[in-house]
Structure 1
Amino acid sequence: MPITDAHVGRTYPATAPYPVTAGKIAEFADALGDDSPAYRGPDAVAPPTFAIVVALAAWDGLFADPELDIKLSRLIHGDQRFDYARPLRAGDEVVSTLSIDKVRARGNSAFITVSASVDTTAGEHVCTSTSTLVHTWPEEASA
């Protein structure tokens, strides 16, 4: 049975702790082509989209849930938003917890809104990453 609005509110276990290092921040900034000095050195802050590194790990629970029948090959990432309480910084150790916030079924497609809370291992909330995913099934699955 594909994902439905009955799955709204489902939350998956937190990811393993992820150490945010100055080196990882610099690598991410390099991949973006951003040479801002804020992203360099021992006191580096992470670019705003860096949180996706941790949030994506939380998506594994969603993809591994056999009840939802979600296949990565049938998924489009439609929208992304980050709401910060404070920037991620070198030295932070964070985990992410994913929740299903909204599901809208349309024919053989579902528009799925998920949020991943990114928090320090000490329990401080850093940000929430909210994504809209569009998933399709073969026509016979929606009948």
Structure 2
Amino acid sequence: MAVDDLSVRLKVYEGRAAVLGGRGKDPVNSPMIRHWCEAMGDTNPAYTGPDAVAPPTMLQVWTMGGLSGHETRAPAYDELLALLDGAGYTSVVATDCEQVYLRALRPGDEIMFDSVIESVSARKTTKLGTGYFVTTRMDVRVGDELAGTHRFRILKYAPAHASGEGERRRREHAQPDEQPRSPQQPHPRERPRRPRPVVNRDNAGFWEGVARHRLLIQRCADCSTLRLPWLPGCNACGSPEWDTVEACGDGTVYSYVVMHHPPFPAFDPPYAVGLIELAEGVRFVSNVIGVPYDKVRIGMPVRLAFVRCDEESELPVFRAEGEVVEA
């Protein structure tokens, strides 16, 4: 299928419904709000008590269909993804979301929502590979009143290491005695790079600290509440003023998962991703190294380390204390 022909076929899906007349499987409720706040470490008193409201960032939570999905799911979105799969754009990554809050949600509110395929981009070439950005917009309502909108964007792409163009370039630079390799088997020296972190005005200082091997935690200038990851304002008192403190580097594994699937260029599953509780009391998500993935345990002491992924990227990770880092 020619690229131009595919682009025309994809554009037909813009404006078509992905979910029509969706209904939240549960009303807004206090237990879910409590779970969310505990997981996020958010102690704002607005989310507790008889006059509690739900954290605005939970907007999408009340629309999730779980394993069984939604009966009102329209076929257009699945058709669009199948069309991209058939054209070779079989990998997918969520890139970003945007939310607009118009009304506070309170326990007992019954949620209704519609979702539409808002846009399909022209073909784009990224560091991950070549593909198409697909944006859906969900309008969340309580009765007839619009409570907020949630835009969600994914990239459906063909991985760069599997593209014919990448293989052609590799062959052009191959040594005379080097044997050609299939597009699915990149040369060891061509290991794909890890995705770059998104650096913006709200977190640039954090990444500047990482470059100097410092893990910086934001501290509210008004109420002294610590926060990590970085945010533009305090989630306890709302103040936009802040400074930073440097983490001492000690922590424990608060929780963890072992990633087995999906396989992704530049990553070698299985590997452990931990939610680390730092000595300062905030939590941070990163890899746990220095111990086999199946030996990671809740409560395990860890120590901050910095790992260079490539010539441009260095990341903070946590090494199990008393263990030798495996090569």
TM-score range, shorter chain: 0.7 to 0.9
| Conserved? CA contact 1:43–1:90, under 8 Å | no
Change (3 A) 1:78 1:56: farther
Per-residue CA deviation, residues 2-41 of structure 1 (Å, 9 max, x unaligned), is 7711100011223233300122111111111111111112
Cα distance between partner residues in 1 of 2:75 and 2:40? 27
Report the equivalent of 1:134. 155
Cα distance between partner residues in 1 of 2:151 and 2:16? 15
Specify the code of the residue in structure 2 equivalent to 1:116: M
| Conserved? CA contact 2:134–2:153, under 8 Å | yes
Correspondence list, 1:73-92, <5 A: 74-92=91-109
Deviation at 1:75, TM superposition (A): 2.1
Cα distance between partner residues in 2 of 1:9 and 1:27? 35
Cα distance between partner residues in 2 of 1:27 and 1:42? 17
Larger Rg: 2
| Conserved? CA contact 2:63–2:111, under 8 Å | no
Report the equivalent of 1:103. 120
Unaligned runs of 5+ in 2: 125-129, 165-327
| Conserved? CA contact 2:28–2:107, under 8 Å | yes
Deviation at 1:101, TM superposition (A): 0.7
Deviation at 1:74, TM superposition (A): 2.6
Cα distance between partner residues in 2 of 1:129 and 1:10? 16
Report the equivalent of 1:125. 146
| Conserved? CA contact 1:87–1:126, under 8 Å | yes
Cα distance between partner residues in 2 of 1:78 and 1:116? 16
- Aligned partner of 2:135 among 92, 113, 116: 113
Query: Which deviates further from its counterpart, 27-36 or 11-20?
Result: 11-20
Specify the code of the residue in structure 2 equivalent to 1:13: L
Report the equivalent of 2:14. 8
Report the equivalent of 1:22. 30
Cα distance between partner residues in 2 of 1:85 and 1:65? 26
Cα distance between partner residues in 1 of 2:158 and 2:63? 25
State the aligned residue count: 138
Cα distance between partner residues in 2 of 1:132 and 1:9? 15
Deviation at 1:49, TM superposition (A): 1.2
Correspondence list, 1:29-108, <5 A: 29-57=37-65, 61=73, 65-68=77-80, 69=82, 74-106=91-123, 108=130
Deviation at 1:65, TM superposition (A): 4.3
Higher RCO (CA < 8 A, seq sep 6+) = 1
TM superposition score normalised by structure 2: 0.37
Cα distance between partner residues in 1 of 2:62 and 2:122? 28
Cα distance between partner residues in 1 of 2:98 and 2:49? 27
| Conserved? CA contact 1:54–1:118, under 8 Å | no
| Conserved? CA contact 2:28–2:62, under 8 Å | no
> Cα RMSD between the aligned structures?
3.1
Per-residue CA deviation, residues 45-97 of structure 1 (Å, 9 max, x unaligned), is 1112101213444x9637884421177x8321111111111121112110221
